[in-house]
């Protein structure tokens, strides 16, 4: 068993390092390469990368704190959990905005028109504020009395359950907040992203069948336009791939959350870490490569500025 935990620790460090490098590179690419002519999509990517970075760092700090503390009702315990939930909800909401924005960019008429920097910044601010308000109650709610075995199995003083519900008793405010948080932060975003992803795929397939014959006939006269369209399609496919990673990641997390009992499962910390950080760690590479932010030219520009 000890060897398994050592291997998991090594894998955890590798995943965390991969996520830190990817999100930092995405932020630097946007700030140092795209800042002078930044677009709405880059604003949303910047917010997403910042939220991912905060989530990865705080989740590692929180788990390290869980191993050290001996009290289940410390202010630091609840504050670090709030910061973890704030990062994950901000990452989720930025992903929702990106999916809706990319669907709107396909030429479909929607009531949301974030293709302006001011509107994109406003939406980003609303996303951050809403994530803060939705996560903050975890600091204020009182933990329920946990059984001694559940506290021991959680790996430290901090309860593994984010909403401080005991094994046999969950106060009404805690339960109401738990289901509200799951509905707004997990279920509704999953539904929205599933629908928009399917619609994006449908539009891309229709456009591909429509544009391919025209490209073969007019390729010599429209090489510049075709190149721009190709880059846009690569960016769209990167968004579809990232949305697919998101759906797989959070579907598994919800299944684990409902089927398993965090307070009674010794390995819940590892399960929660790998499910929560899979999207946060690997999505910046999907977005960066698909949107041409991770290229040798951009890395040379960043290197020259340091």
Asked if 163 and 181 count as a contact pair (C-beta separation under 8 A), the reply is yes
CATH of domain 2-214+223-304: 1.20.1070.10
> Model's pTM, two decimal places?
0.85
Asked if 303 and 192 count as a contact pair (C-beta separation under 8 A), the reply is no
Maximum distance among all Cα pairs of the chain, rounded to whole angstroms = 74
Name the stretches of the chain with pLDDT < 70: 1-7, 66-73, 107-115, 142-157, 159-160, 164, 166-169, 208-230, 262-264, 305-306
Give pLDDT tens digits for 94-137. Answer: 999 999 988 887 765 444 455 678 888 899 999 999 999 999 99
Closest CA to 174 of 166, 165, 182, 183: 165
**Helices within the chain (DSSP H only):** 2-29, 40-68, 75-105, 117-135, 137-140, 148-153, 172-182, 188-218, 223-259, 268-290, 296-304
| CA angle (184, 188, 193) in 5-degree steps | 135
Domain boundaries, the chain: 2-214+223-304
Closest CA to 108 of 100, 96, 120, 116: 100
């Amino acid at each position: 068993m000890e060897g398994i935990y050592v291997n998991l620790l090594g894998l955890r460090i590798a995943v965390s390092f991969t996520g830190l490098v990817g999100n930092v590179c995405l932020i630097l690419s946007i700030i140092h390469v795209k800042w002078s002519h930044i677009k709405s999509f880059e604003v949303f990517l910047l917010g997403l990368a910042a939220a991912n970075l905060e989530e990865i760092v705080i989740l590692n700090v929180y788990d390290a704190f869980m191993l050290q503390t001996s009290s289940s009702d410390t202010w630091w315990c609840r504050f670090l959990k709030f910061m973890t939930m704030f990062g994950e909800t901000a990452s989720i909401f930025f992903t929702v905005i990106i999916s809706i924005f990319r669907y709107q960019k396909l030429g479909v008429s929607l009531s949301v028109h974030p293709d302006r920097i001011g509107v994109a910044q406003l939406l980003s601010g609303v996303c951050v504020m809403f994530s803060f308000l939705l996560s903050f109650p975890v600091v204020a709610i009182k933990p329920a009395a946990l059984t001694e075995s559940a506290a021991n199995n959680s790996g430290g003083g901090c309860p593994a359950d984010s909403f401080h519900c005991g094994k046999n008793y969950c106060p009404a405010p805690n339960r109401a907040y738990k289901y509200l948080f799951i509905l707004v932060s997990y279920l509704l975003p999953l539904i929205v992203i599933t629908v928009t992803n399917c619609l994006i795929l449908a539009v891309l397939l229709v456009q591909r069948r429509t544009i391919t014959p025209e490209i073969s006939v007019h390729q010599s006269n429209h090489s510049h336009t075709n190149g721009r369209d190709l880059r846009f399609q690569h960016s769209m496919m990167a968004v579809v791939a990232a949305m697919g990673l998101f759906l797989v990641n959070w579907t598994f997390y919800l299944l684990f959350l409902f089927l398993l009992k965090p307070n009674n499962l010794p390995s819940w910390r590892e399960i929660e870490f790998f499910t929560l950080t899979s999207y946060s760690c690997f999505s910046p590479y999907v977005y960066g490569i698909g949107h041409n932010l991770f290229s040798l030219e951009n890395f040379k520009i960043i290197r020259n500025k340091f």
